Amino acid sequence: YFLWNLSVGKKFGENVLATFQVVNVFDNQYRKDNSNTTYPFYNPFIGADPLGRRFYVSLQYKF
């Protein structure tokens, strides 16, 4: 069981870096752990990644 992430960046000149990232590429669900059934360890939402696959874009400028 794995979660795969992907990140790609491109440098534009010496000062600008653009990055594109995909988190949870295959949109997998996290494994559910039923061994702890009481508070504070039990979380009914822990059986899935609530956000699923997501995408991020960033732009960095150094000056």
Query: Which residues are 15's β-sheet partners?
Result: none
Q: Nearest Cα to 46, choosing from 62, 59, 29?
A: 29
Q: Is residue 1 part of a domain?
A: no
Per-residue pLDDT of the chain (63 residues; tens, 9 = 90+): 678 999 999 999 999 999 999 999 998 876 666 666 665 555 555 555 567 899 999 999 999
Residue numbers of the domain that contains 18: 6-61
Tell whether 18 is covered by a domain. Answer: yes
Q: What is the pLDDT of residue 33?
A: 61
How many domains is the chain built from?
1
Peptide bond into 50 cis (omega under 30): no
Q: Residue 47: inside a domain, yes or no? A: yes
> Quick one: pLDDT at residue 3?
82
pLDDT, residue 2, reads 78
What is the model's pLDDT at position 21?
A: 98
